[in-house]
Amino acid sequence: MTTPTPKTIKKLYIGISGLIGAGKSTLAASLAAAMGGKAYFEPVAENPYLVDFYENMKENAFKMQIYLLRERFRQQQQIGLEDGVVIQDRTIYEDSVFSRMLNGEGKMSNLDLKTYLGFFDTLSSLMPRPNLIVYLDVEPAEALANIKKRGRACESGVTLHYLTALRNEYEIFIKEVSRIVPVLRVKYSKFPSIQSIVDAVERGYAASHNIIEAQLKN
């Protein structure tokens, strides 16, 4: 029997994870083009809370996270209707990374976090999980340099401290999510070729379908 690959299966859903400025959007577009799929991106330009959030995180953290959760849920519903290869720039499952980090930094109250996680648990349980998550492992200083290079006014409030705290929370998330979804960690600072990542995705997908025979004793 031939092992299924992204070229032969009916549907493959890949999530791209990583820090702000890690290169998720670029990789999502490149992977979609290379694999003949469709890319879904974060609602950055349409986000009415983004500028206010970076100016006053404590005041706007909860509103920002609820808005993003709603928008990502809508996107997940669309993805659920797609066939073929779908690449998503940050999944709904990562939303809790930001909320937990903001709580740890004193920018979101315990009550707001509890309320948010209640919404998150309900909505995320209704959506299919990715077949594979590609985690772009980028140092905070490099991510900040990328943010400054692209020069988005709405991201001018991003600091190295913010990205470092976010990276720490991401490491916890990746360890936890890898128990239920295969994770492909990519050192994106070396910027491997897109084909090398496509090949790694295919290997990771094939490995996630291995069946292990139980060794039973009489």
Catalytic residue list:
89
Q: What is the 3-state secondary structure (H, E, C) of 10-23?
A: CEEEEEEEECCCCC
**Residue 182 burial by Cβ neighbours in a 10 Å radius (0-12, 13-18, 19+):** middle
Contacts of 70 (CB under 8 A, 6+ apart): none
- Residue 132's SS3 state is strand
Rounded Cα distance, 200 and 205, in Å: 8
